A = this chain, B = another copy of it.
Amino acid sequence: MSQAKLSIEHISKSFTEKKGGKVTHALLDFNLEVAAGEFVTIVGPSGCGKTTLLKIVAGLEIASEGAVYLDDHRVTVPGPERGLVFQDFALFPWRDVTGNIVFGPELLKVPAVERVKIAEHYIRLVGLSGNERKYPAELSGGMKQRVAIARALANNPEVLLMDEPFGSLDAQTRSQMQKELLYIWQENRKAVLFVTHSVEEAVYLSNRIVVLSESPGTIKQIYSIDLSYPRSRSDHGFISLREKITGCISENCR
């Protein structure tokens, strides 16, 4: 077997509509390896199977075919070593910001004093200081998303699975969050599997970018980004790569 941290082998996934009965093939023979400490981003059109892929890796969906290995062990159920930031946040409505963020540590029976510290740390990190006691219903869209990110990070997983985690953030907050994420990733050498619709973001963050084709999701092209961190968005190499990948998504890949 491979040396990869995460290896996704021959995954296919199809769904049958509850009412219509039509079968949707969300993924078809998908293969990918993510090395330890690698930052891989998936881009592709809406509905091509990105979320489905992350959920299969997280162990929340069962692949119709194929298997996922983490450190050479097959994974079939969710575990705290793979943290997922959900596309639609999925906060616990009965817990305030702090309560949502410390949910994971609470499960691991981290002592209360330490939990307070963790909460403070991540609340500051995502820029939500002053909102500790708000409940999900009292948060703006971007604030909810940041709570979801903080909740996943607070659990300190080995593999971070992030589904459009910055989609609801303004440019400034977003670039701040990108920097924080890169910092965390570099400090802890986590493996990151990241989904975004922003090619610029993908190029700014990733070691490799996987472009998916339209449904059913198969790999259209994989790009390795050899630019050194921190990257500059106005750098010539950056821009040309961005253009190339944008073209690949919509038409043909070079």
Residues of A within 8 A of B (CB): 15, 17-20, 22, 43-47, 50-51, 87-88, 96, 130-135, 138-143, 146, 163-164, 167-174, 197-199, 246, 249-250
Contact = CB atoms under 8 A, between A and B. Distances in A.
B88 A141 contact: yes
A250 B141 CA distance: 19
B168 A87 contact: yes
B168 A167 contact: yes
Contacts of A131: 47
Contact of A171 (B135, B142, B173, B250): B250
A224 B135 CA distance: 37
B47 A133 contact: no
Contacts of A199: 171
Contacts of A143: 46-47
Given A46-B169, A173-B45, A141 B18 contact: no
21 contacts: A15-B138, A19-B135, A44-B170, A46-B140, A46-B142, A46-B143, A46-B146, A46-B168, A46-B169, A46-B170, A46-B173, A47-B131, A47-B142, A51-B140, A87-B141, A141-B163, A141-B164, A171-B197, A171-B246, A171-B249, A172-B249
A95 B167 CA distance: 26
Nearest to A212: B170
Given A18-B138, A43-B170, 7 more contacts: A17-B133, A20-B96, A46-B141, A46-B142, A164-B168, A171-B246, A171-B249
Number of copies: 2
A132 B20 CA distance: 9
A47 B144 CA distance: 10
Contacts of A141: 46, 51, 87-88, 163-164
Contacts of A50: 140
B133 A19 contact: yes
Contacts of A96: 19-20
A217 to B, nearest CB: 11
Contact of A133 (B15, B20, B46, B174): B20
A167 B167 contact: yes
